[in-house]
Each structure stands twice: as C-alpha cells, then as structure tokens.
Amino acid sequence: MLLKDSDYLAEKTFASIHQDCDELIRLLVSIVKMAKQNHENKK
C-alpha cells in the first residue's frame, strides 16, 4: 500500500499484487488450520 500511495506502483499493478496477496493469505490460513486440526486429531 505504501508503494501505491507514494505513486511507485500504478493502481492496476497494485490491484493485481494485492489480489495475489489476499489469495496467498487465505491459502496459508487454510493450511495452518488444517495442520492444527490434523495435529489435534492425532492426539
């Protein structure tokens, strides 16, 4: 966001990168939740 706000990145480029970051965050959260659930099930 800082790069966009300082006009280092164009709005279109930022939107694409931001969307990719959101997808990665959702994926990582899902992986962590699944790993925790699997760990609990093994106990």
With contact defined as beta carbons under 8 Å apart, do 25 and 19 qualify?
Answer: no
pTM as predicted: 0.70
| pLDDT attached to residue 19 | 96
| pLDDT attached to residue 43 | 74
Instruction: List the pLDDT tens digit at each of the 43 positions of the chain.
Output: 999 999 999 999 999 999 999 999 999 999 999 999 999 998 7
Integer Cα distance of 28 and 11 in angstroms: 25
Per the listing, tokens 């760990």 go with 39
Amino acid letter for position 42: K
**DSSP run (H or E) holding 39:** helix 11-42
